[in-house]
Amino acid sequence: MAWTFNNVRIFLQGRDGVNTLTIARLQPLSGGTILQGFGYESEMIKLTAFVVGDMDRDILKYMSQSFSAFELKEDSTFVGSYYVHSMSWSQTFSVAQTLRPDLACESPVYRVELELYVA
């Protein structure tokens, strides 16, 4: 399956979601804990993927610094629009990359983790 995020080719390794409820806790002096619900947050998506090349990594870094929504697609099928809440990356060292035959074998490969908010 071919995944793209804002036309950046990503090789998805994992996709997780988090749903949270906003709850306030009050501890009165003469009783038990009182819980008060204040709604819920929209789902947050966490993607773990590989990207090849400095340019694709730098585009993802830029996306995490702009307050814009970007499209996530799987095989040209629209999955959703997301804001990039955070992006972390680490370079993986190997003899040669074979994920992207259109790039040089010596191109760096990065493991990235993206936290996305639904737009």
DSSP for 45-62 reads EEEEEEEESHHHHHHHHH
d(CA 78, CA 70): 11
pLDDT at site 94? 84
Residue type, 29: L
pLDDT band at 30 (very low <50, low <70, confident <90, very high): confident
| pLDDT, mean of residues 81-106 | 93
Q: Where are the beta strands (DSSP E) in the chain?
A: 3-5, 8-18, 21-26, 34-40, 44-52, 69-74, 77-92, 109-118
Mean pLDDT across 13-42: 90
Question: What pLDDT is attached to residue 22?
Answer: 92
Average pLDDT, the chain: 93
pLDDT tier for residue 41 given thresholds of 50, 70 and 90: confident
pLDDT of residue 95: 87
If you average pLDDT over residues 21-25, what whole number do you get?
Answer: 92
* Percent of the chain scoring above 90 in pLDDT: 83
Tell the burial category of 11 from Cβ atoms under 10 Å away from its Cβ (0-12, 13-18, 19+). Answer: middle
